[in-house]
Amino acid sequence: MLVIQSIDEPSRVEDRQKDTANADPNMQQESPIELSPPPNPTQAINWTDLVQRIQSNDQPALEELYTLFSRGIKFLIVRQLGRQDIDDRVHDTFVIVVQAIQRGELRDPERLMGFVRTIVRRQIASFIEKNYTRRRDELDIDGNVTIADSHMSPEEGAIRAQNSQIMEEILRDCSRRDREILTRFYLLEQPQEQICAEMGLNDTQFRLLKSRAKQRFSDEGRRRMAKSNLKSFFVRKRSA
Amino acid sequence: MDRRLPERDESALQILNGSHLTEDALEVYSLGRLSSEEDIAVVEEHILVCGYCQTRLEKMELFVEATVAGAKTVAANPEPNKFRNYLPIAIAASAALLVFVPGLLEQSTEPASIDLVAVRNETRLVAPAHKSLNLKPDLTGLSATSYDWELSGVDGQLKSSGKLDLSSGRLSVSGLEAGQYWLRLKSGGQQEILREFSLSVK
């Protein structure tokens, strides 16, 4: 069974010392709980067969390709460009991938993931270029500029503000030393090796501190979500 | 504390653990500190097809973003309630300063330091006009060995350009008039646009 430690499921040792820096430097890393993540979805795929079927325009193969990659393509594009026109952008990218495969541009079917990633990156660059050109052309035509509002939605803004507030409270609540360690790593972008050397930490203590912060963030987020859901439940009850 | 560029012994970084990305890889990637193109490719190719790791990366990014924002607030105001009783006095003193020392802020020669973030985040960064600006573009997820930058006005006219100083990750511009600007980042020596940032100058 694969043993991992994730944000959602870090080790759940409740009686930890609050100040990691004061923990025994020789302590062993806590044993994370054992999870059984899903298998890698690519392991069961016969890439050569899939690519050959796409080249012969086999509809189930196209659906399989779409199912396999659409969420990931969307994910990478949203990370760079936001959610604006995202469905169109994913569709455009998918069409380009299929056409390129059908033209025989993918020589090694085992490299399909790398091939798709390259096309996604080109598409992202192309979308940025198009946006720039469109803004310039719009200005040339009527002297006015329309800049799409890619600001976050009110809901996204509220979530982001709440998350920031949760972390602020966690940082204020932890010891000065723990706060400095987290600030150095996440805000000041200092490398782990430097922080550990300057603050007398070993690798385990450093990981433990980050893991606890993630756990508290996750727990507090869930707690507030539950509280919010409970509140809206009673509001609905009252208005019903 | 000095602000230093990330350095990491990437030879020690394990990207995959069996079938999935390691927690370290997700964190380093979401922090934009994965500089090896090969490692970035491994992460992104896996992310393309693995919903499980996409969800983990999303959660990691939420945590990183919240931690950076929270740490900024705490760093700016380490003891929020300590001086609450003195707030009216502080406000009055600030107002007096602004009244009796007009132009104090404009005379400051300290460049304004601004972190530019990618489009999916805040895009309405506001910088002061007619001042030296010290801009730091977000290089998260980029892996070029050098970068060229161009700053254009809203009319598409090139205002300034240059090479990004990789040691500081920053670039300097000065004397910008009020208006909307776009900073485009290209891979050095090539014309591929890697990222575009908006900047409002007032």
For residues B58 and A38, the model is more confident at: B58
> What is the rounded (10 degree) CA torsion for B69, B74, B76, B78?
180
Residues of B in contact with A129 (CB under 8 A): 193
Under the banding of pLDDT at 50, 70 and 90, the label for residue A14 is very low
Q: Which residue has the tokens 């000041």?
A: A188
pLDDT tier at A31 (50, 70, 90 boundaries)? very low
CB-based burial label for A45 (10 Å; 0-12, 13-18, 19+): middle
Give the C-alpha separation, A218 to A64, whole Å: 34
Interface contact flag, A166 B66, Cβ < 8 Å: yes
> From the list A81, A169, A186, which residue is nearest B71 (CB)?
A186
pLDDT the model gives residue B106: 54
List, for residues B104-116, the tens digit of each pLDDT value.
Answer: 555 556 666 666 6
**How far A235 CA sits from the closest chain B CA (Å)?**
29
Range from A183-187, B5-9, B76-80, B162-166 carrying the lowest mean pLDDT: B5-9
pLDDT-based confidence at residue B144 (cuts at 50, 70, 90): confident
Residue A95: what pLDDT? 95
The model's pLDDT over B6-44, given as tens digits with 9 standing for 90+, comes to 444 445 688 888 789 999 999 999 998 888 899 999 999
Enter the tokens of residue A27. Answer: 């302590």
Of B19, B75, B123, which is closest to A151 when you measure between CB atoms?
B123
Question: Minimal Cα distance from B179: which residue of A?
Answer: A145
Nearest CA in chain A to B141: A80
- What pLDDT score does A225 carry? 78
Out of B56, B72, B120, closest to residue A80 by CB? B120
CA B192 to chain centre: 21
- The pLDDT, as a whole number, for residue B102 is 59
Query: How far apart are the C-alpha atoms of B120 and B123, rounded to whole Å?
Result: 8
Whole-complex ipTM: 0.73
pLDDT at A230: 67
Mean pLDDT score, A102-117:
94
Q: Is B59 part of the contact surface with chain A (CB cutoff 8 Å)? A: yes
CB contact under 8 A, B51 and A188: no
Q: Is B125 on the interface with A (CB under 8 A)?
A: no
| Stated length of chain B | 202
Distance, CA of B67 to CA of B74 (rounded, Å):
10
* Closest chain B residue to the Cα of A193, Cα to Cα: B8
Separation of alpha carbons B162 and A193, rounded Å: 32
Would the CB atoms of A81 and B8 count as touching at under 8 Å? no
In B90-146 the beta strands, taken as DSSP E runs, fall at: 112-116, 126-127, 133-137
Mean pLDDT of chain B: 77
Point out the least confidently predicted range of A79-83, A236-240, B27-31, B175-179: A236-240
What b/e readout covers B36-57, taking b as 16+ CB neighbours within 10 angstroms?
A: eeebbbbbbbbbbbbebbbebb
| Yes or no, beta carbons of B7 and A193 under 8 Å apart | yes
Task: Give the per-residue pLDDT at B95.
Answer: 73
Is the CB of B60 inside 8 Å of chain A's CB atoms? yes
Size of interface A-B (CB pairs under 8 A): 197
Question: What residues 151-180 of chain B have any CB closer than 8 A to a CB of chain A?
Answer: 152, 154-156, 180
- Cβ neighbours of A147 in B, within 8 Å: 180, 198
State the pLDDT at residue B148.
Answer: 86
Rounded to the nearest 10 degrees, what angle do helices B51-76 and B23-30 cross at? 60
Cβ–Cβ gap A69/B48 under 8 Å: yes
- Residue A236, pLDDT > 70, answer no
Helix A112-142 / helix A86-102 crossing angle, nearest 10 deg: 130
Q: Do B49 and A179 touch (CB under 8 A)?
A: no
Which residues from B are below 8 Å from A167, CB to CB?
63, 66-67, 69-71
Residues of A in contact with B23 (CB under 8 A): 4-7
Bridge partner residues of B185 (DSSP): B149, B195
Q: What is the mean pLDDT of residues A190-211?
A: 92
Please determine, for residue B101, whether its predicted confidence score (pLDDT) is greater than 90: no
Residue A24: predicted pLDDT:
43
B positions 88-117 inside 8 Å of A (CB): none
Interface with chain B: mutation pick from A35, A50, A164, A212, highest number of B CBs within 10 Å: A164
> Phi then psi for B201, rounded to 5 degrees?
-110, 125
Q: Give the residue with greater pLDDT, A41 vs A58.
A: A58
**pLDDT greater at residue A151 or residue B166:** B166
Q: Could you tell me the pLDDT band of residue A49, with boundaries at 50, 70 and 90?
A: very high
CB contact under 8 A, B69 and A193: no
Contact A81, A89 (CB under 8 A): yes
Q: pLDDT at residue A105 above 90?
A: yes
pLDDT at residue A233, rounded to an integer: 62
Looking at residues B121-149, what average pLDDT do you find? 75
- B27: chain A residues, CB-CB within 8 Å: 210
**CA gap B120, A4 in Å, rounded:** 30
Q: Are B53 and B26 in contact (CB under 8 A)?
A: yes
CA angle A151, A153, A156 (to 5 degrees): 110
Is residue A57 classed exposed, middle or buried when 0-12, 13-18 and 19+ CB atoms within 10 A define those classes?
A: exposed
